Amino acid sequence: MALEHAILVSLLEKPGSGYELARRFERSIGYFWTATHQQIYRVLKRMEGDGWIDVREVPQQGRPDKKEYSVAALGRTVLSGWLHEPIEPESVRHDLAVKIRGAAFDDPAALISEVERHHRAHADRLAHYLAGQLRDFTGPEAPAAQDAGQELQHAVLRGGIAYERMMLAWLDDVLATLHRLRPER
Amino acid sequence: MALEHAILVSLLEKPGSGYELARRFERSIGYFWTATHQQIYRVLKRMEGDGWIDVREVPQQGRPDKKEYSVAALGRTVLSGWLHEPIEPESVRHDLAVKIRGAAFDDPAALISEVERHHRAHADRLAHYLAGQLRDFTGPEAPAAQDAGQELQHAVLRGGIAYERMMLAWLDDVLATLHRLRPER
DNA sequence: CTTGTCTATGCAACGAGTTGCATAGGAGGA
DNA sequence: TCCTCCTATGCAACTCGTTGCATAGACAAG
């Protein structure tokens, strides 16, 4: 389980409230790790109880008060320990692959619009990543000299970009296959 | 949730016992969907209760008897319904990406061996996929004319191959980044 | 003859993740 | 004024997934 660790990393990058974390998990972090606000609030509470993180009540004007969390010394130790122990290469779950194999027992052509929908979603994500890369790393506004943290964030982002490009190419391949199967019916 | 659907597809491709399904989930299907035997037995029982699949007791010699499951008419209907409804592009969970971003707050160089380990694991999987492709689709032993099912299975396998190649290239990228950060310490 | 491995199925407990719902103040528009 | 949206936090119930353990027959190696 690594949600705790994802939260620790995110809080080290920048302290924030449960709500803010939930929004980050919809955006940058969410590209390689998802979590709902329920999960985040529950885990934050446990982490606080275990002394991994500190809380600070922050009164706000024009909006409800928030609890800003930051990583405690113990949290850094826990994260360091996790970083040094090996993890298993992650298990994959591709609903779409199940559908594609299942289409053989139904109507392959009916899957075309679904695959096209996924294609658009991945194209959108790729555009979003590329915009982020330009803004934060390779564009004229980006800082010239980058520290280790930025270098590593960029490496992760490049992984996201590579993943989306691979998916787009593969979905094109799948679409071509589905079209090829169509006349045979 | 799609474990039921993955099982339906697998049983349509070939009927089998819970044990056999578990083995398939370690192999071909496991490349895009994982499940333990516990999960599979539990879900099979529920699916049988719901009339999605039929059971047949098969006595065996030299080994324990087994229960062979096959897809019932209702199961086909359920699968067809699922195939026709849209699914969300899957959420991702990359432990390694969390580790890489976390390494900024620890020792980036300590991650090198871990990344190399993952690199080897992905290289192994790629070799396995390529062997399977040669055996079942592109080799001299493979059937010349392929039906829709085989075409689609091949398309999914090509996706796995593309994924592993992308991962290997990205892990090379990450390793280069980690090495570049090393002298700065 | 005991130990280990493979086939084959399953229970029980726990932990992780999802879904629905609830509350509450402030902002902005119909 | 009412309705909706955004920020902000949380409970309760449920489903999904993992881990540990148990059973049991057949076979092979030591």
- 3-class SS string, chain B: CCHHHHHHHHHHHCCECHHHHHHHHHCCHHHCECCCHHHHHHHHHHHHHCCCEEEEEECCCCCCCEEEEEECHHHHHHHHHHHHCCCCCCCCECHHHHHHHHHHHCCHHHHHHHHHHHHHHHHHHHHHHHHHHHHHHHCCCCCCCCCHHHHHHHHHHHHHHHHHHHHHHHHHHHHHHHHHHHHHC
**Residue type at B182 in one-letter notation:** R
Question: Residue A109 is encoded by which pair of tokens?
Answer: 């052509």
Is B73 near chain A, with CB under 8 Å? no
Q: Report the C-alpha dihedral over residues B57, B62, B64, B67, rounded to 10 degrees.
A: -30
Residue B94 and residue B115: Cα distance in Å, rounded? 13
CB contacts, 8 Å: A148 with chain B: 103-104, 108, 181, 184
Q: How far is A95 from chain B (nearest CA, A)?
A: 7
Residue A154 and residue A138: Cα distance in Å, rounded? 10
Which residue is it, tokens 């290289």?
A: B123
CB contacts, 8 Å: B174 with chain A: 155, 159
Give this prediction's pTM. 0.93
B44 CA vs C7 C1’ separation (Å)? 18
Residue A133: name the closest of A170, A111, A110, A162 by CA. A162
Output the pLDDT for position B27.
81
Asked whether strand D has any atom less than 7 Å from the CB of B50, the reply is no
Output the pLDDT for position A60.
82
Asked whether strand D has any atom less than 7 Å from the CB of B38, the reply is yes
Q: How far is A62 from chain B (nearest CA, A)?
A: 34
Alpha helix (H) ranges present in chain A? 3-13, 18-26, 37-49, 73-84, 95-102, 112-133, 148-181
| DSSP symbol at A60 | -
Q: Which of A97, A118, A159 sits opposite B156 (nearest CB)?
A: A97
CB contacts, 8 Å: A95 with chain B: 2, 87, 90
- Write the pLDDT tens digit of every residue in B18-61: 999 999 998 878 788 889 999 999 999 999 999 999 999 988 87
| Tens digit of each residue's pLDDT, chain A (185 residues) | 689 999 999 999 999 999 999 999 988 777 888 899 999 999 999 999 999 999 999 888 778 889 999 999 999 999 999 999 998 877 778 999 999 999 999 999 999 999 999 999 999 999 999 999 999 999 898 888 789 999 999 999 999 999 999 999 999 999 999 999 986 54
Asked whether strand D has any atom less than 7 Å from the CB of A28, the reply is no
